[in-house]
Structure 1
Amino acid sequence: LSEATTSKIHREEEVVAECRTHVQLCTRYLSQIQPWIEQAEHYLAKKIENFGATDLNEAKQLYDKHKEFLEEKRRYLPIYNHLIDEEQQLNDQFNLKLSIKNCQTRWLDIVKKSDDLITKYEKQYSSWLLFESELNSFRDQTLKDLEQRARNLFSNDMNKIFDINKMTSVLNELKILDDDIRHQTANYNRLHKQYSSTEGQRSIHEEQISIETKWNQLNRQVSEKVSHY
């Protein structure tokens, strides 16, 4: 064989070897990433369908779990990038290129859905934090304080108070308490919840019914006292 022919044969062999290498790399990358893509799709479908938390703890767990998922996705990103790069080097590998394109479409869909979901989980967690903070503040501080002030005032028998200054002071305090209760109504009405599951909504409703019972009782007692005097 002539030197030119030999060189041509060697070049063709190199091209074939390079092509085989690209095929092997693509096949390996696909085998590494496809199982995770299937798991990711299952995870996202389940989380999107059953979105909502029962309470603050679950909201935090869901948020933390999804951050772990995003970290997993970040670890698989180099494999995905290598796969896309290698796909550009393939020639006459229709089925393999089709598999890679399918993988790319699914990957991009996972990226979009997971990014949307982390935004929702962030809002869900912050909403539960705000709700719990408002609920605890109103129930454990505001409501208890108003109840204690009312008990102190109700312990005064106006018919037995002969000091005009003390009587005036008690009446003024009672009216101030009435004004405070009316002012706190706005805070009470903000005790609501978004981003909760059906069970979470039921739990919140029961909590609010309990608070509402105490609230209405206190409101009625103070209003009756004010109107009486």
Structure 2
Amino acid sequence: METVTLLLTRWPKDEFIYERGVGPDGYNNDEVDGLTDAERGALYRSAGRPLTMPANRVRFSGLWGTMLMLIGGPIRIAHFDRQIGDELRDDEEEIELTINHRTIYVAVKGTIAETRRYTTIERYRTDDGRVNKWDFGYVRMVSREQPYGLHPERNSVVKTLRPGHDGLCLRVIGGASAQQQAILIHEAPNITWVTGCIGPRPHGDRRPFPNTPGNPADRTVREIVGEVTRRGGKGSLFVLKS
């Protein structure tokens, strides 16, 4: 039976800041990766406020990512740069894929029938610009060798996106903490709709979307959930180590 496996990478690191009130749906400012500490600190403070004083200006920081959806045989191993080698079992094939010009080696039982590619958004810095010692401001699914599980659900919080939303999403299974266990893959028209969750959208589309039924993020999530549902309602998520 075919299965659905998602591969997620946050490499290369690519931050943006969502600006509300710029155009009808806001604006994603991608020109923030090269800022100095002083320039970045000034983003979170009103004009003339010293960097030694606490931040007093809210910003919505996010990270772009890339996700592959693989439809086919079950995948046991997926990682960057190194071949499967002696870890490959007799009933498996080693397949090479590419994300962002970097090779992923996959051990699959059977074949991969179809591959689809998406862009993702996740929250990055806290609203006052802080990150912890692991370089993130909000909880997120950590990179590891073992896959997480996935199953579809209709979530009461996701229903609050807009009136009439059915809450459709994927629950990520296997997080190490209560916060990680609450992480979903769901529609996110802009970065304010995710704190620890993952928002897929069409590959390369970095616009904020209108919070309306059928927007590109809505269609993307329904596409992914539909493929998982058609294959028994279970899937896997690899968060790749960079």
Q: TM-score when scaled to structure 2? A: 0.26
Higher relative contact order (CA 8 A, sep 6+): 1
More strand by share: 2
More helix by share: 1
